[in-house]
C-alpha cells in the first residue's frame, strides 16, 4: 500500500515531490498522484528513478473498499466437497463486466469490516454457492493477484464440505440482487481436463483456479 | 474486451447510451465511459441493469499495451529445471510499485507484437532469469488475473530447462535498464514450505505462484 505517499503529490513549488521510500524499494519515487478516484477503485501514477539515473512512470489501480483492519481485499475459496466417496471442488461461473466474458472461477469475495479471512470464506461460500463448511483446512499468506498492475490482494482459504450432510444436499444461494452465479461441482481428479475442454469462445478461466489445477497436474509429473 | 462499446458512450442527447450486448451478458450495459486514459492503462466505468431492474456501476482497469493479434496481455512461466537429479522451479523476487512491497513471483512479462505466448515465455525467461529452455511442455488457455477488476490476461507456459547444460550453469540476465530482479531456484517438493516460511513483513507472494504451490500440496491430500 502506498497511502503514506499521498501527502507529497504534485507540490506547487515546482520541485520534485519526493516521497518516503518504502522498505526494499530500489527506486526513488516522486510525484505520486491520484489521477482518478471512483467509488470502487482509484487510479494512481508515480514517477521513479533507478540508482543509475534511469527514469520511468508507473500507473496502477487500487481498490477503495478495503476495511482498514482487513487482512486482504478479498478471499478465494478452495472448497473440497466429499460426496458419495468422491472429492469435488466447488466452482462458479459468472459474467465479468471487465473481461466482457463468462468466467470460470473459485468462489470469492471481498472481506467485510470486522471479518477474518476465514469468516469471509465461510460466508462467501454460503452466499455464492449455498454450501456450508464447518472446517477450515488452511489459510494462505496474503497474496497479490496482479502485482504489476494493482495492490488487489487475497487470501486463499481451503475448506472441507461434507457433501452428504443434510444442509448440503440441496444448497441454496443467497445472492445480492445484482449477482447471477452458476455453481458447479467438478471432481478434483478431472479438474484440469474440465478446464482444458472449455470452449474458449464462450467461457474463460481465472488465473488462480487454473494455476491450482496445473499444480495438481504437475505435482507428480517428473 | 469491451472496445466495441466505446462509440456509444455519453450520448449528448441525454438518453441512456445503450451498448451492444456482449454474448452471455446477463446485464443491460449503458453509459460506458473511459474515465482516465494513461500511457499504460485505461480506467473505465459502465452502468448495468439486471433483468429485474436493479442498477449498478462497474469500474475497471485495462492495459493499453496489448498488440491486436497477441493471444493475451502476458505470459507467466513455470520453468522446471532439472539439475543434479533434482527438480527445481525458477522464481524471481522484484519490488512492485503498485503493491509497495518486494514480491515473490513466477517469471513473467508482456507479449510483444508478432510473438506467440511460447515465444514470449522463452524470451522473458531468458531476459529475467538468464535460463535457456529448449522445450515447451504445455501452454495453458487464456486466463484472467483479476476478472472483477481488469481484463488483464495471461497464458501460463510450462517449460523444461536442462540445469546441467553448459548454457545454464551460469545464467546471465538481460534486464531492461529499470529492472531489478533476483533469481531463485526452489525445489518443487519444497515450494509450499518455502512460501509458507517467507517473512511477510519483508516479502509477499503473487497469486498464480501460490495457487500452483497449493495445487502441488493438495494433489494427493484426501
Q: Is pLDDT above 80 for A37?
A: yes
Asked if residue A2 belongs to a domain, the reply is no
Residue A174, domain CATH:
3.90.79.10
Tell me the average pLDDT across A136-148. Answer: 97
**For residue B220, what pLDDT band results from cuts at 50, 70 and 90?**
confident
Tell me the average pLDDT across A24-38. Answer: 96
Check if B96 contacts A (Cβ < 8 Å).
Answer: yes
Say how far apart CA A92 and CA A106 lie, in whole Å: 6
Which segment of A13-27, A124-138, B70-84, B93-107 scores lowest on mean pLDDT?
Answer: A13-27
Tell me the average pLDDT across A11-25. Answer: 66
What is the structure's pLDDT at B213?
A: 97
Same domain, A57 and A86: no
The H or E element that residue A124 is part of is: helix A117-129
Asked if residue B187 belongs to a domain, the reply is yes
Same domain, B198 and B111: yes
Say how far apart CA B210 and CA A133 lie, in whole Å: 23
Q: Report CB contact under 8 Å: A211, B216.
A: no
Say how far apart CA B187 and CA B222 lie, in whole Å: 23
Q: What is the mean pLDDT of chain B?
A: 91
Query: Which grid coordinates are listed for A174?
Result: 443467497
What is the structure's pLDDT at B110?
A: 97
Asked if residue B178 belongs to a domain, the reply is yes
What is the structure's pLDDT at B183?
A: 98
Q: Give me the half-sphere count of Cα atoms (radius 13 Å) on the Cβ side of residue B83.
A: 19
Digit-coded pLDDT (tens) for B6-62 = 333 343 343 457 777 888 899 999 999 999 999 999 999 999 999 999 999 999 999
Q: Is pLDDT above 60 for A137?
A: yes
Same domain, A211 and A141: yes
Tell me the average pLDDT across B203-215. Answer: 97
Closest chain A residue to the Cα of B108, Cα to Cα? A148
Asked if residue B68 belongs to a domain, the reply is no
Asked if residue A17 belongs to a domain, the reply is no
Same domain, B32 and B94: no
Tell me the average pLDDT across A65-74. Answer: 96
Which residues of chain A does B178 touch, with a Cβ-Cβ cutoff of 8 Å? 48, 50, 54, 56
Same domain, A102 and A32: no
d(CA A180, nearest CA chain B) in Å? 8
Same domain, B53 and B127: no
Asked if residue A19 belongs to a domain, the reply is no
Which of A212, A213, A220, A222 should be substituted to probe chain B, the one whose Cβ sees the most B Cβ atoms within 10 Å? A212
Same domain, A132 and A36: no
Query: In chain A, how many domains are there?
Result: 2
- The last residue of a domain, from among A8, A35, A63: A63
- The last residue of a domain, from among A63, A87, A115: A63
Check if B85 contacts A (Cβ < 8 Å).
Answer: no
Which residues of chain A does B146 touch, with a Cβ-Cβ cutoff of 8 Å? 145-146, 149-150, 152, 207
CB interface of B with A, residues 118-137, below 8 Å: none
Structure-model confidence comparison of residues A3 and B124, the more confident one: B124
CB interface of A with B, residues 141-180, below 8 Å: 141-154, 156, 158, 177-178, 180
- The last residue of a domain, from among B63, B86, B114: B63
What is the structure's pLDDT at B15?
A: 46
Q: What is the mean pLDDT of chain A?
A: 91
Asked if residue B166 belongs to a domain, the reply is yes
In chain A, the percentage of residues whose pLDDT exceeds 70 is 91
Digit-coded pLDDT (tens) for B190-208 = 999 999 999 999 999 999 9
Q: Is pLDDT above 60 for A130?
A: yes
Same domain, A195 and A123: yes
Same domain, B123 and B35: no
CB B59 within 8 A of CB B45: yes
B206 class by beta-carbon count within 10 Å (0-12 exposed, 13-18 middle, 19+ buried): buried
Say how far apart CA A173 and CA B99 lie, in whole Å: 34
Same domain, A123 and A43: no
**For residue A3, what pLDDT band results from cuts at 50, 70 and 90?**
very low
In chain A, the percentage of residues whose pLDDT exceeds 90 is 83
Asked if residue B194 belongs to a domain, the reply is yes
**For residue A4, what pLDDT band results from cuts at 50, 70 and 90?**
very low
CB B198 within 8 A of CB A141: yes
Same domain, A79 and A59: no
Check if B181 contacts A (Cβ < 8 Å).
Answer: no
Tell me which residue range forms the domain holding A47.
Answer: 27-63
Alpha helices in chain B (DSSP H): 117-129, 191-196, 207-218
Same domain, A126 and A183: yes
Q: How many contiguous H segments (helices) and E segments (strands) does chain B have? A: 3, 12
d(CA B4, nearest CA chain A) in Å? 10
Amino acid at each position: 500500500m502506498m497511502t503514506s505517499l499521498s501527502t507529497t503529490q504534485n507540490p506547487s513549488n515546482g520541485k520534485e515531490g519526493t516521497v518516503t521510500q518504502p522498505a526494499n524499494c530500489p527506486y526513488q519515487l516522486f510525484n505520486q498522484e491520484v489521477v482518478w478516484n471512483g467509488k470502487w477503485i482509484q487510479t494512481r501514477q508515480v514517477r521513479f528513478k533507478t540508482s543509475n539515473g534511469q527514469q520511468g512512470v508507473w500507473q496502477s489501480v487500487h481498490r477503495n473498499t478495503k476495511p482498514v483492519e482487513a487482512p486482504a481485499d478479498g478471499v478465494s475459496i478452495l472448497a473440497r466437497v466429499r460426496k458419495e466417496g468422491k472429492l469435488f471442488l466447488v466452482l462458479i461461473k459468472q459474467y465479468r463486466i471487465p473481461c466482457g466474458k463468462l468466467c470460470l472461477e473459485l468462489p470469492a469475495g471481498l472481506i467485510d469490516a470486522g471479518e477474518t479471512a476465514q469468516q469471509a470464506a465461510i460466508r462467501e461460500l454460503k452466499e455464492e454457492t449455498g454450501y456450508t463448511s464447518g472446517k477450515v483446512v488452511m489459510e494462505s499468506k496474503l497474496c497479490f493477484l496482479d502485482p504489476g498492475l494493482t495492490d488487489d490482494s487475497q487470501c486463499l482459504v481451503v475448506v472441507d464440505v461434507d457433501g452428504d450432510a443434510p444442509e448440503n444436499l440441496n444448497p441454496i444461494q443467497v445472492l445480492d440482487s445484482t449477482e447471477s452465479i452458476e455453481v458447479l461441482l467438478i471432481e478434483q481428479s478431472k479438474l484440469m481436463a474440465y478446464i482444458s475442454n472449455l470452449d474458449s469462445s464462450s467461457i474463460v478461466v481465472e488465473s488462480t483456479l487454473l494455476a491450482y489445477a496445473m499444480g495438481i497436474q504437475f505435482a507428480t509429473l517428473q
